[in-house]
Amino acid sequence: EPPDTPKDFSCQTQDMKRVTCTWRKEETYLYGRNSPQYTLSKTSSQKTALCEASCSKQCSCSWDIGQQWIWNVTVTVENPLGKKTATDVFDVTHRMYPPAPFQVWEDCTDTEMTLHWNYENTGIEFFCQIEVIQPDGKVELHNSSMADSRRVTVRGLRPHTEYTARVRCGAARHFWRWSEWSQPLTTRTKEGTPSGKLDIWREITPVLGGRNVTLFWKQTPSFQANGKIILYEVTWEKIEDGSQPESISFSSVYNSTRIFIDNHSYRISVMAKNSINFSLPSILMISRATDNSRSIFSTEELKEGQVNGTYDGIFLSWEPRSIYDSYIIDWCNFPRLQPCDLQWKRFGPNISSAVISSAAFVPGVRYTFHIYGSVANRASLLEKKIGYLKELPPHLDPVVRKVDLTYNSVTLSWDSYLTNEPEPGFVRGYHVYVSPMQGNCNLKGSKKHILSDESELCKYTIENPEEKRYTVKHLMPNTKYKIVVKAFTGGGETPIVNFRYIDTPYNSNLLYFIFLLVIIPTLVAAICHWKMKWVKEWCCPVIPSPNKSKVLSFKEFKIDSEKVLKINDCLPDMLAMDSNAEAHKL
């Protein structure tokens, strides 16, 4: 291809003695003696080259300017297929591209940094710029306030903080380009007085003659140590009688301590100290101890509730009260250990719910949260919450202590389920599983439950965790059953492994009915058969029949078809009368 017009052709100087022109190298797909040839010359005399061009990715050519300041130069590119040119007209004093500053150093206080540097003297006034990189990576630019100034002061820095700075310069009067950046300089401001206050909290334990107060403190984002903390100072004083305060200091490696106070009201303060000064004191007011309350609310009014875990923590809510200026929630990261790693978090007066999260929270561990209201640095316990990040099935099954059987029911009684802290979830109720040893279960009032081996059970649900007794009805007499009681939590229940086996007795009512229906009639029949003649004479005596009398056997005593006996024709052997009076007359 023929050459194209040179692109990005420009000229500049770094020392007002020598000018360098640069342009972009173009591809013509011709090589060797046919490759493009570049010539840089004065426009007015293109036959005389000013310098010899050298090309890699970019072409450049340099020459001494002598005493000439205004230049009109042309670059010519030529190959066997054509020729193209580009021209640049410039004043050397307007094309200053300074070299990078050198010998950079600094002076620091706790909040200011003055950066110094040097650069080569070219007779041109320079205007310089400082780049300051903050600890968080944020970049700030600061310009020198005066031309040819070789220092810039940066204010508003944080004490005892590391910063990185570098400088570059450009011509003050006829700006052309910035120089390259100087080598970066990393420095740290000096220490200053700590700003803000420590976040402090306490745990109060009643003991004989007073109370043990365990104090905790931590640095919050609003607290700036402004140096290396070398110690913490704890001071406490009795409020009522204005007695002399007591104090004790601790190394910076500690973040808690325990002090003993009596039952009066106390004011406790904690301060941090670096090599310069103390921070402002953080204040806690400890109320006078009482016998029947832990706060301004009596223990009878103290609310306690269960809370649930979410995907990112444990959700808590509380009833807001207008008298408090803040709320504090404390808990133990490791409730089964001592010390339990007490943690706390503060909330504003308009907040009534929060999600408490911690990397230490694990499923199956019960955490206890205390919610305090605070006013004038005096905290009062308001509510107590217990909950799990995630509930797991119970470790143990209820222990069935008593089994009462009838021919068609079984009553199970078990001990109260252990609801102490080690349990992996809140016990929400119980399931009673029943099945005959042979055949499927279809008891009235139950639901079917299929095990992993596809065997079938009857399932009864008891939703009251306080219930300790249940009766399974509609069983078959003289039948063997397997039965088990399982506790369940929000995390479900453990798989069924062990059953208890029972045998229902015969139905005694049915035996009694059979006795009445069969045995007694059989017995009566046997007796009747044994005394048949007596029974027959007693129950069915022989009644004389006139038709069987011998007297009536004579033919002449018949009238038509009936036999007739005339009393006066008969002489009886004996006469029996119904009345003794008539017998006497006779």
Instruction: Give the span between the Cα atoms of 307 and 516, in whole angstroms.
Output: 63
137 and 83 share a domain?
A: no
Least confident window among 216-225, 298-307, 426-435, 455-464? 298-307
Over residues 39-45, the mean pLDDT reads: 86
Query: What b/e readout covers 180-199, taking b as 16+ CB neighbours within 10 angstroms?
Result: eebeebeeebbbbbbebbbb
Residue 525 has pLDDT above 90, yes or no: no
408 and 456 share a domain?
A: yes
Structure tokens at 581: 């009076």
Residue 267 pLDDT grade (very low, low, confident, very high; cuts 50, 70, 90): very high
Over residues 198-223, the mean pLDDT reads: 93
C-alpha closest to that of 245 among 295, 280, 283, 275: 283
**Does 514 map to a domain?**
no
Residue 554 has pLDDT above 80, yes or no: no
345 and 287 share a domain?
A: no
Residue 511 has pLDDT above 90, yes or no: no
What torsion, rounded to 10 degrees, do the Cα atoms 206, 210, 212, 218 define? 110
Query: Which position has the higher pLDDT, 2 or 536?
Result: 2
8 Å CB contact between 493 and 486: yes
Q: According to the model, what pLDDT value does residue 260 have?
A: 95
Least confident window among 122-126, 279-283, 363-367, 548-552? 548-552
Least confident window among 35-39, 217-221, 310-314? 35-39
Tell me whether residue 522 is exposed, middle or buried, using C-beta atoms within 10 angstroms of its C-beta: 0 to 12, 13 to 18, 19 or more.
exposed
> Please, which contacts does 414-418 make with residues 24 or more away whose CB atoms are closer than 8 Å?
414/468, 414/469, 414/485, 415/468, 416/466, 416/468, 417/465, 417/487
Q: According to the model, what pLDDT value does residue 301 have?
A: 57
12 and 87 share a domain?
A: yes
281 and 367 share a domain?
A: no
Q: According to the model, what pLDDT value does residue 362 have?
A: 94
Residue range 115-163, pLDDT digits in tens: 999 988 777 888 899 999 999 999 999 998 787 788 999 999 999 999 9
Q: How would you list the strands of the sheet with 480-489, edge to edge?
A: 447-450, 456-462, 427-436, 480-489, 500-503
337 and 425 share a domain?
A: no
Q: According to the model, what pLDDT value does residue 295 have?
A: 42
17 and 71 share a domain?
A: yes
- The boundaries of the domain holding residue 232 are 198-293
Query: Which position has the higher pLDDT, 301 or 144?
Result: 144
226 and 312 share a domain?
A: no
C-alpha closest to that of 117 among 93, 148, 155: 148
Q: According to the model, what pLDDT value does residue 280 have?
A: 95
Residue % of the chain over a pLDDT of 90: 51
Q: According to the model, what pLDDT value does residue 552 have?
A: 55
Query: Which position has the higher pLDDT, 466 or 563?
Result: 466
150 and 219 share a domain?
A: no
**Does 533 map to a domain?**
no
> How many domains does the chain divide into?
5
Which of 293, 328, 344 is the last residue in one of the domains? Answer: 293
Q: According to the model, what pLDDT value does residue 240 have?
A: 82
Instruction: Give the span between the Cα atoms of 417 and 298, in whole angstroms.
Output: 29
Which of 49, 77, 94 is the last residue in one of the domains? Answer: 94
Structure tokens at 534: 């007596």
Residue range 224-245, pLDDT digits in tens: 999 999 999 999 999 887 788 9
Over residues 16-21, the mean pLDDT reads: 92
404 and 500 share a domain?
A: yes
Q: According to the model, what pLDDT value does residue 297 have?
A: 40
CATH number at residue 442: 2.60.40.10
**Does 1 map to a domain?**
no
Least confident window among 166-170, 400-404, 419-423? 419-423
Which of 94, 116, 144 is the last residue in one of the domains? Answer: 94
**Does 517 map to a domain?**
no
Residue 290 has pLDDT above 80, yes or no: no
Contacts of 523 (CB under 8 A, 6+ apart): none
Residue 28 pLDDT grade (very low, low, confident, very high; cuts 50, 70, 90): confident
**Does 528 map to a domain?**
no
According to the per-residue pLDDT averaged within each range, which of 140-149, 196-205, 494-503 is highest? Answer: 196-205
Strand partners, 216: 201, 256
Residue 47 has pLDDT above 80, yes or no: no
Written as one letter, the residue type at 360 is A
Residue 186, classed as helix, strand or coil, is strand
Over residues 5-27, the mean pLDDT reads: 90
Residue 530 pLDDT grade (very low, low, confident, very high; cuts 50, 70, 90): confident
Residue range 399-420, pLDDT digits in tens: 888 888 888 889 999 987 655 5
Does the N-terminal peptide bond of residue 339 adopt cis geometry, omega within 30 degrees of 0? yes
Sign of CA dihedral 409, 415, 416, 420: negative
281 and 204 share a domain?
A: yes
**Does 424 map to a domain?**
yes
Q: According to the model, what pLDDT value does residue 242 have?
A: 73
**Does 523 map to a domain?**
no
25 and 81 share a domain?
A: yes
Residue range 171-191, pLDDT digits in tens: 988 899 999 999 999 999 999
Residue % of the chain over a pLDDT of 70: 87
Over residues 550-578, the mean pLDDT reads: 63
Query: Which position has the higher pLDDT, 438 or 100?
Result: 100
Structure tokens at 91: 């004043």
Over residues 244-253, the mean pLDDT reads: 93
**Does 585 map to a domain?**
no
The model's pTM: 0.69
Residue 247, classed as helix, strand or coil, is strand
